[in-house]
Amino acid sequence: MNLTFFDQFMSPQIMGIPLIILALLMPSIIFPIPNNRWLTNRLSTLQMWTINLFTKQLMLPINKTGHKWSIILTSLMAMLLVTNLLGLLPYTFTPTTQLSMNMGLAIPMWLATVLTGLRNQLTTSLGHLLPEGTPTLLIPILIIIETISLFIRPLALGVRLTANLTAGHLLIQLTSTAVLALLPTMMTLSILTGIVLLLLTILELAVAMIQAYVFVLLLCLYLQENI
């Protein structure tokens, strides 16, 4: 039974070919291609308004030097958002429940922010490892602690996204299993459990959107420290 619950997190395959690449390409397929009817199409206009709103919110904590990252960060958030939401549909696969994929997104982006800081302002970036006014005896310990916390950042990004989505999917599956199991014997309890399942689904929709935003927002904060 435990293996059955975690089968939903296995990458689907057809004739031995993994379909995770198709799942990752799905967000780009949903967004329309620019044409002459771009502004007259209500769906396209709504999508562009939403993207512009998200971009403004993401760029608020960043000065003008970092605005060149807006396309990368907005595209990353759009991909994570659509992928998380599509993963809530029945009989679908959520690539962002895979720690390997999330770490593959977190490590290069975090490393890019760190290298940007080391290239543009080496002294300031290294100064973050040692707060001003630190007692002499605490300098080696604080440098070690700050270095460890720096390298933990990408791990925290990937694990946070994976853990939240995985926990939500497991809760939904466990609750739906309980609804079907209680339906023949205890109808009232099954209906109450179904209401809980509906509330969990709404909560997971919010989590899917919030986690995509938090992932990119933390990258924006890391970028602001290094520019």
For residue 37, tell me if it sits in a domain.
Answer: yes
Single-letter amino acid code for the residue at 132: E
pLDDT given at position 29: 65
- Express each pLDDT in 186-222 by its tens digit: 888 889 988 998 999 999 999 999 999 899 989 988 8
- All residues at 6 or more sequence positions from 139 whose CB lies less than 8 Å from its CB, including other chains: 130
- Residue 13's SS3 state is strand
For residue 11, tell me if it sits in a domain.
Answer: no
Single-letter amino acid code for the residue at 107: I
For residue 88, tell me if it sits in a domain.
Answer: yes
Q: What is the DSSP letter of 39?
A: T
C-alpha distance across the termini of the chain, in Å: 50
Residues 178, 193: contact at Cβ < 8 Å?
Answer: yes
Task: Give the residue, 39 or 168, on which the prediction is more confident.
Answer: 168
- Express each pLDDT in 87-132 by its tens digit: 888 777 788 888 888 999 999 999 998 888 888 887 777 777 777 7
Residue 12 in tokens: 């689907």
Task: Give the residue, 98 or 8, on which the prediction is more confident.
Answer: 98
Report the alpha-carbon distance of residue 59 to residue 224 in Å, rounded: 10
For residue 40, tell me if it sits in a domain.
Answer: yes
Percentage of the chain surpassing pLDDT 90?
Answer: 16
**Residue range 149-176: average pLDDT?**
89
For residue 192, tell me if it sits in a domain.
Answer: yes
For residue 128, tell me if it sits in a domain.
Answer: yes
pLDDT given at position 205: 92
Beta-bridge partner residues of 17: 14
* pTM (2 d.p.): 0.79
What is the extent of the structural domain holding 100?
Answer: 20-226
Our count of domains for the chain comes to 1
For residue 145, tell me if it sits in a domain.
Answer: yes
For residue 221, tell me if it sits in a domain.
Answer: yes
- H-run or E-run covering 17: strand 17-18
